[in-house]
């Protein structure tokens, strides 16, 4: 048994589309009820549970006469609109047999990107849990656009786990864990534990959801585990067929150990949710100051600016060898060219007090290591 999982008082469980629906589209009632049974057993032990469930688009395929996941956004939105109500209704029926009430929560990336929305989502989820309700979370596919999508529910689940300060995250799909190569290849074996993501550098991680109804593959689950574990949340990746054992803390699947140092919430969403609106290019000296000494970015070290943005937008920071950080900029893009290369004292003398501030304060900047830069 994994003791930190058995002792967790608040958990997030995410299940993929292929684990809930048939290949033809439509809800697989038996699979839904098996998952519900596993969650009910844990909830009755006193644990608060948030369920992040894919499957809305997949559940809407058959009712719309579609044979596969549509490629265009408008039809995806239509399928989600039909499928979401069917999916939640099936969950409500299954959980009601155990006298558990569910509540639907639909989120877009903006709900965790914008600070006021983030706090509102956090309050709503916490209140549902306090009232004994089991929240069922999904991306709001009916209104989300390509520009404001989470992209996959694995990442959404990791961010929800961070929003509600969960003690553990379970990512369930149709694969029983992370392997040291393609599971179909002879000689590959399951990786039972990951202490450091550097351990995975030599492993071929890829693939997409099976059955043509889901988006997530193992790569998205590993990325989600990075988000969750950096927030201090241990993560298990395994198959939905092993849900009862995984949620109970049995040693199944791949267990990602949480880091001892928790990344602040603000920096987590800055790194994993925001879309940069521009790039500030800096010299080698500024890279050393920002990356190695963790100082704020000042105009003196900036050599160029691209993009159109306003103060408060996220922007990437690039050195001579590539992107090294992302932060919340404190000037509009059209103000920065006149500040480039100047000392703050010089700027204050020329333009007055208030213009001698940092371009990006160190508290509003996340530093990317080499792997993070490559990933981004």
Residue-wise pLDDT for 40-98, tens only, equals 999 999 999 999 998 888 888 889 998 888 888 889 889 889 999 999 999 999 999 99
The pLDDT, as a whole number, for residue 360 is 94
Return d(Cα 176, Cα 212) in angstroms, integer: 19
| pLDDT at site 143 | 65
Residue 373 has pLDDT above 50, yes or no: no
Q: Is 324 exposed, middle or buried (0-12, 13-18, 19+ CB in 10 A)?
A: buried
Confidence (pLDDT) at 351: 75
- Mind listing the domains of the chain with CATH numbers? 3-268 (3.40.1160.10), 276-375 (2.30.130.10)
What are the angstrom distances between the C-alpha of 145 and each of 112, 273, 285? 15, 14, 39
pLDDT of res. 158: 92
Distance in Å from the first CA to the final CA of the chain: 35
Pairing of strands 134-139, 102-107: parallel
List all residues 6 or more positions away from 134 whose beta carbon is below 8 Å from its beta carbon: 39, 43, 49, 50, 51, 95, 100, 101, 102, 103, 128
Q: What is the pTM of this model?
A: 0.81
Average pLDDT, the chain: 87
Q: What is the mean pLDDT of residues 175-185?
A: 87
The two three-digit tokens of residue 339, written as one number:
């500040």
| pLDDT for the residue numbered 343 | 85
Query: Hey, how many other C-beta atoms are within 10 angstroms of the C-beta on 1?
Result: 9
Q: What is the pLDDT of residues 103-130, one digit of tens each?
A: 999 987 767 666 667 788 899 999 999 9
Percent of the chain whose pLDDT exceeds 90: 55
Confidence of residue 347 (pLDDT cuts 50, 70, 90): confident
* Confidence band of 147 (pLDDT split at 50, 70, 90): very low
Stretch among 254-263, 310-319, 367-376 having the lowest mean pLDDT: 367-376
pLDDT(220) > 50: yes
């Amino acid at each position: 048994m994994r003791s930190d999982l058995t002792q967790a008082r608040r958990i997030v469980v995410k299940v993929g589309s292929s684990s809930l629906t048939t290949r033809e589209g439509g809800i697989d009632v038996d699979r839904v009820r098996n998952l519900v049974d596993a969650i009910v057993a844990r909830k009755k032990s006193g644990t608060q549970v948030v369920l992040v469930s894919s499957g809305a688009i997949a559940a809407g395929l058959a009712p719309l006469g579609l044979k596969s996941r549509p490629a265009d956004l408008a039809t995806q939105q239509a399928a989600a609109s039909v499928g979401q109500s069917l999916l939640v209704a099936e969950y409500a029926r299954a959980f009601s047999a155990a006298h558990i009430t569910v509540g639907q929560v639909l989120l877009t990336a903006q709900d965790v990107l914008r600070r006021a929305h983030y706090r509102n989502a956090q309050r709503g989820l916490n209140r549902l849990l306090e009232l004994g309700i089991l929240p069922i979370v999904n991306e709001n596919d009916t209104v989300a656009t390509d520009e404001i999508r989470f992209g996959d529910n694995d990442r959404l689940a990791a961010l929800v786990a961070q929003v509600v300060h969960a003690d553990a995250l379970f990512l369930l799909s149709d694969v029983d864990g992370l392997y040291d190569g393609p599971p179909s290849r002879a000689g590959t074996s399951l990786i039972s534990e990951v202490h450091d993501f550097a351990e995975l550098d030599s492993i071929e991680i890829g693939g997409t959801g099976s059955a043509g109804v889901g988006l997530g593959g193992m790569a998205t689950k590993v990325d989600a585990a990075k988000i969750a574990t950096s927030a201090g949340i241990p993560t298990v990746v395994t198959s939905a067929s092993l849900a009862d054992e995984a949620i109970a803390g049995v040693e199944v699947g791949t267990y990602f150990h949480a880091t001892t140092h928790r990344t602040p919430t603000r920096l987590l969403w800055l790194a994993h949710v925001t879309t940069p609106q521009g790039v500030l290019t800096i010299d080698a000296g500024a890279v050393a100051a920002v990356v190695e000494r963790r100082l704020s970015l000042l105009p003196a070290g900036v050599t160029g600016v691209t993009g159109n943005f306003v103060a408060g937008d996220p922007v990437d920071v690039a050195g001579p060898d590539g992107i090294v950080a992302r932060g919340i900029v404190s000037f509009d893009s059209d103000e920065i060219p006149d500040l480039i290369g100047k000392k703050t004292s010089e700027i204050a003398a020329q333009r007055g007090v208030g213009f001698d501030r940092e371009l990006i304060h160190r508290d509003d900047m996340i530093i990317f290591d080499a792997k993070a830069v490559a990933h981004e």
